Structure 1
Amino acid sequence: MNQTRRFFLKLAALCCWWRSASPSANAAPASAEPPLPFGSEFANLDSCAVGQWWNKPKPKVANPPPPMDVPRNEVVAFALYTHDRGVLKLTAQLYPLKPDEVREARLEFQRDGKWTEAAKSPVLFPGWSAHFRLENWDDTEDVPYRVRHADEALFEGLIRRDPRDKPVIVVANMSCNSSRTTGLRPEIIDNLKMQDPDLLFFAGDQTYRHTEHTAGWIEFGLQFREVIRDRPTITIPDDHDVGHPNLWGENGKRSKISGNADGGYFYPVEYVNLVQRAQTWHLPDPVDPAPVERGITVYFTRLRVGGIDFAILEDRKFKTGPAGKIPQMGPRPDHINDPKYDPKTIDLPGLELLGERQHKFLQNWSEDWTGAAVKAVLSQTAFCGAVHMHGKRSDRLLADLDCNGWPQTARNKALAEIRRVQAVHLCGDQHLAVVVKHGINEFGDGPYAFTSPALVNTIYGRWWHPLDEQPGPNPVANSPLPWTGDFQDGLGNKISMLAYANPQNIADERQRSDGYGIVRFDKQKRQVTFECWPRFADAKEGDQAQFAGWPITIAAADNDGRKPVAWLPKLVFEKMQDPVVQVIEDKTGEVLYTLRVPGESYQPPVFAAGEYTVKVGRDRPSQFLLKGIKGEPRDATKPISVKFG
């Protein structure tokens, strides 16, 4: 889209905002929006929600989205929110509005039994969302809210207080919500209500209606609004949300080939930004908000809930596309089927995964433990290829470059950042639920990761099924699953398989192994438990209703699996409990780890002989400094008193 058209679209949006914000907005009808907001080349984009959408025939597809023309007292479809460090952000999603309806939404709170208006916001086109940002938010109390439009339409929910006093924080881990299976999701919603997670995490592919994001997003909201309405929710878009079969964002460039393996985005910037605005505006403000190429926005950020500090990554946006960069060794640029290929030949210099901006974010995030007892990392897909069969059981694939196991050097760099804070990694995308322990240099020296199953798996089945049908070395003791243990994926990455949930019959709705994950962060025990629930399970039946191999409980400290070879002196903390300790190797300047350590003392392990710098602080490693400390056998060191105050 040319600069002139962009200017007029922005001018139109500004005028729309001015009309809705003016004192007479409620009385004055709004003019119609552009019928083709993405240009004539993309006249089909968002067609259910642009132009004279109310006069358009029902889409001629097997599984159409819900109708957009609803009773006018129902035009506020749903809302979702987060709050962090005194800032509440809430997005209200409206159905498309007709030309004579006001383009304004209002946010109200109930306190002492009385509703009070707190803010107004324009309803943005395209996309029909309204956004509210309130500072000085008191996160110590539950506050009912409602979003209103005109005189009758409203959507109600509850802003939950931050559960910092809860010993165990519960997160629902979800992704891949097939649009081929329409209607509500009562079998999932009923269980979620009973399990009552403190945070919902949707890792991507909330909708597969590629060119109809607004209709697909409203469909998703209708399916999950009964749990979204009353708890903080993270939604991050993946490839299908922006209309792609796969996505390598390559810093925002334009993709020009079928399948998009050249990297970049195919659809107009305005459409990509519409998707991201709808799904991510309610997240805490981006830590580095500068757009990437062509003005595509970013959203990577952090969110603290109940003392768990979540880094929210964009593992698609900066990743290099494989086409034209590496030798093609399969039927398409991103699939490798040549068993004789050497994985090192595709791990080339200059290939990106998270990109330097997100690595800088992770480094800063790792040093700031304000409000955090435990850390976790959230992203769209897995840092390995823990899959053997794709699409159907007869289609074996050696390596899939869509996963974050490639590029391998960049993958290891990302895992090293996660390991430094002993964080677990949660993601989706793969349609196959697995728990793995990553290896960076050796098996087991990296963090654990939980890939959730597809919520509704009618799009694409995947299976873990080693060719020799044998377990790897060090299999899980007494596991009901036959193929656990140490393996290399098709990209040469080391992984230890703990559990997997293969579909039994992809044609049978009850045997596709779809469902969702529950992750329990026990702050007192410093443990994390992964649960994996089939879509049609009854959570009242307890653990026996989960997929075979789950639940799995791990110690947070085991997310760093490096073996100590020496120890620094035991640190005894005076006038402080649970401080932050950072250890730096003097020779290389590498930060080995930065951790909040429980209790009144801690003896730091190190992984090579040499001298080290130790920093200690309440929430950052900045208040106390020890330089040139030598690593020695554990019993040979003498305690050091660390005084504060």
Structure 2
Amino acid sequence: MKKDRSALSRRDALKLTAAGLGALALDPIKMVAQEAATPFGAEFPMLDSLATGEWWAKGGAAAGAKGKGKGKGKGKGPSAPPAMDVPREDVVAFAIYTHQNGVLKMTGQLYPLKPGESREARLEIQRDGEWKEVAKADVIYPGWDVHFRLENWDASQDVPYRVRHGENAMFEGLIRKDPKDKEEIVVANMSCNSSRTTGLRPEIIDNLKAQNPDLLFFAGDQTYRHTEHTAGWIEFGLQFREIMRDRPTICIPDDHDVGHPNLWGENGKLSVIPGNADGGYMYPVEYVNQVQRQQSWNLPDPVDPAPVERGITVYFTRLTVGGVDFAILEDRKFKSGPAGKIPQMGPRPDHINDPSYDPKTIDLPGLQLLGERQERFLAQWTQDWTGTEMKAVLSQTAFCGAVHMHGKENERLLADLDCNGWPQTPRDRALEEIRRAWAVHLCGDQHLAVTVKQGIKEFGDGPYAFTSPALVNTIYGRWWHPEDEKPGPNPIANSPLPWTGDFHDGLGNKISIMAYANPPDITDEKQRADGYGVVRFNKKSRKIVFECWPRFSDVKDGDKGQFAGWPITVDMEANDGRKIVGYLPELVFEDDSNPVVQVVKEKDGEILYTIRVQGGRFQPRVYEGGQYTVRAGKDQPEKDLLTGLEPHAKEQAGQKTLKV
């Protein structure tokens, strides 16, 4: 992180993250006046209506939500959210945090405040048994969120905290120390939390507490309340706060969080057609930024914080937990919308049902997926291994279309452009970068749990990817169901699932299906195939385990309680699945320093991969003939160690003793 970005004052950081919202530091008189107004303009009185203006006089949550279900995208509208008028000792609803490179960032979410109540909240931490106030911050309207940033944070110990408002309201939790001494780092992979099923989620929370993840990753659609984000976000917080209160949490908003049925952000432009397939955002910038601020301000500072068009903020960044480095992407923010750019070949611009279409005809020059800024970030991230032993990429949705049936079990769709399998060329570029770090990809969005091995030029030459199931799947069902009902070539041996193996998705991408969790009956709460994923990164063995747990499972049952086909264990190095044609000399490092090693093809300067060596010995592999350079360094490949190397059979490649 560049020094001038990480050293922002709290107020300046808030202004940067909430660009387009106007001044945040308002005196009480101006604050009351602003709260009495429609904050997003007279054209959008429905936006956050349950938490704005004279919210307490609007008849409660049920009355406020009446009629808000119309036009909510997939399926019917949600049920009423919880009431916003709560006892005043309960106004601090929940908090989420992360810490990175000595900076703690925490977001506290409050219920709406009433006239005369303080618009300030405090953060206290406990040291040596004594509570100490360490920060104060303004509560932001609209949104009622508050943000604390502490620098010089000591991540070597657990620290109790509490967010306070007034005399009696508080929310308590634990800021966990960085688990860098743990051999295995555990991540919960979650998404798609149906607002149609209200109430708490004890069946999920109890299991997560038993599994005790080091990091929570919510990949999007934390709420489906569309125009009522604050109410929906508080509802989500009530459902998951018992697990979020005491561990770092990543929440990245997806389409439904910002009120869309689908989202192609196209660098922030304004969307003007129903369904939003023209690209951009349909609601005011202030509302989009509020959603992103509430959900993602607690993340480490953006690596490239410049807003996109119209002042919409960005949050793509990185977070290291226990030596596992997570690149956090915004795979909706820069993606091109299909309408007007490719021929329409289905009932709507983003759905293709024409069996005669050629996928190459929609992979057009200039179409974007991650966008140039995020591609640049990924390229830099793959080469920086500071404090890192393994890597993973986190985003909203999958880099393929691993699904056949959409909405109903008999509604087949050939290709869905809403997934990251389109556009294909930038999809391949993204996977090539992920492969260069031998990283896995974790995501959600699809309402269908799937583990795949991505293919770029050949089947299986890309990284592994795990799409989590919907947490609560009462919005939209999906199924993996090949039309010929046959497995693909190279099916998984002894799999309990009939349709594994190599397939082309509807966009022509090569994918190898390892496991999928079809819902047996989408109308039965116990058979909707909802749940969550758990991913285990073992730093000693360099293995990654994907687990997939049904919503109503009992983790005490062990592996047999998981969906059929899981758990799946993969080697970190297998995320680069290219065919090996030879080896360079085995590298033996004198000081056993576990350096970072990079292999570069001299012909064109292509970086094959950059990884941290384990145990001080490493034999580079290559995938074609020619000459290669080996670079190395403590945390980055800082210097050329060997040049002009040519591949040989492994036993003939020899050995080189080196010092970094």
Deviation at 1:578, TM superposition (A): 1.5
CA shift digits 1:116-149 (9 cap, x unpaired) = 0000010001111000111110001000000000
1:596 Cα deviation from its structure 2 partner: 0.6
Report the 3-state secondary structure (helix = DSSP H, G, I; strand = E; otherwise coil) of the residue aligned with 2:493: coil
Distance in 2 (alpha carbons) for counterparts of 1:474 and 1:12: 53
Does residue 221 of structure 2 align to residue 205 of structure 1?
A: yes
- Contact conserved, 1:582 with 1:592, CA < 8 A, in 2? yes
User: Is 1:565–2:567 an aligned residue pair?
Assistant: no
**What does 1:460-479 align with in structure 2 at a 5 Å threshold?**
460-479=476-495
Corresponding position of 1:53: 55
2:435 touches 2:463 (CA, 8 Å); kept in 1?
A: yes
1:352 equivalent to 2:368? Answer: yes
Paired residues of 1:164 and 1:307 also in contact (CA < 8 A) = yes
The answer on whether the counterparts of 1:76 and 1:95 sit within 8 Å (CA) in structure 2 is: yes
Identity %: 72
Name the CA shift for 1:141/1:10 in 2 (closer, same or farther; >3 Å): closer
Aligned-partner Cα distance in 2 for 1:173–1:375: 15
Letter in 2 for 1:38: F
Give the equivalent residue in structure 1 for 2:105: 89
Deviations 1:225-269 (A, max 9, x none): 000000000000000000000000000000000000000000000
Q: How does 1:173-322 map to 2 (within 5 A)?
A: 173-322=189-338
8 Å Cα contact 1:434/1:500 also seen in 2: yes
Counterpart among 31, 40, 45 of residue 38 in structure 1: 40
> Any conservation in 1 of the 2:20–2:311 contact (CA below 8 Å)?
no
Deviation at 1:568, TM superposition (A): 1.2
The one-letter code matched in structure 2 to 1:532 is C
Aligned-pair Cα RMSD in Å: 1.6
SS at structure 2 position matched to 1:572: strand
Shift in alpha-carbon separation, 1:32–1:100, aligned structure 2, 3 A: farther
Q: CA deviation at 1:618?
A: 1.1
Equivalent residues in 2 for 1:496-515 (5 A)? 496-515=512-531
User: Which deviations, in whole Å up to 9, do the C-alpha atoms of 1:67-110 show, x marking residues without a partner?
Assistant: 00101111000000000111100000000111211111100001
Distance 2:66 2:357 in 1: 45
- Identify the match of residue 361 of structure 1 among 358, 372, 377: 377
TM-score (norm 1): 0.96
Q: Distance in 1 between matches of 2:200 and 2:112?
A: 20
Aligned-partner residue type, residue 264 of structure 1:
G
Asked whether 1:124 is paired with 2:140, we answer: yes
The question of whether the paired residues in 2 share the 8 Å contact of 1:29 and 1:99 is answered with no
Match of 1:324 among 340, 353, 368: 340
For residues 222 and 637 of structure 1, the distance between their equivalents in structure 2, rounded to whole angstroms, comes to: 59
Once the two structures are superposed, the pairs formed by residues 347-496 of structure 1 within 5 Å of their partners are 347-496=363-512
What is the DSSP-based 3-state SS (H/G/I as helix, E as strand, rest coil) of the residue aligned with 1:414? helix
Separation in 1 of the partners of 2:305 and 2:385? 22
1:10 positional shift:
9.1
1:102 and 1:496 map into 2 onto residues whose CA distance is 56
Distance 2:505 2:452 in 1: 11
* Contact residue 19 and residue 313 of structure 2 kept, 8 A: no
> Do the aligned residues in 2 keep the contact of 1:31 with 1:99 (CA within 8 Å)?
no
Is 2:125 the partner of 1:109? yes
Instruction: Give the stretch that moved more between structures: 116-125 or 60-69.
Output: 60-69
The amino acid across from 1:33 in the alignment is E
Aligned residues: 630
The alpha carbon displacement at 1:597 in A equals: 1.5
Distance 1:467 1:98, change over 3 A: same
Contact 1:201 1:235 in 2 (8 A): yes
CA drift at 1:18? 4.9
Amino acid at match of 1:468: D
- Match of 2:131, SS state, is strand
Letter in 1 for 2:585: P
Report the residue type matching 1:375 in the other structure: K
Shift of 1:17: 2.2
Q: Report the CA distance shift for 1:18/1:48 in structure 2 as closer, same or farther (over 3 A).
A: closer
C-alpha displacement at 1:576, in angstroms? 3.3
The whole-number CA distance in structure 1 between the counterparts of 2:19 and 2:493 is 60
The two structures have a TM-score, normalised by structure 2, of 0.94
Shift of 1:626: 2.0
Task: List structure 1 runs of 4+ shifted beyond 4 angstroms.
Answer: 9-13, 28-32
5+ residue gaps in structure 2? 1-14, 68-77
Offset of residue 204 of structure 1: 0.1
Q: Note the C-alpha offset of 1:636.
A: 2.5
2:566 paired residue among 528, 536, 550? 550
Displacement of 1:571 after TM fit? 1.0
Q: Name the amino acid aligned to 2:108.
A: A
User: What is the one-letter code of the residue matched to 1:252?
Assistant: G
Contact 1:31–1:100 at 8 Å: present in 2 too?
no
Aligned to 1:17: 25
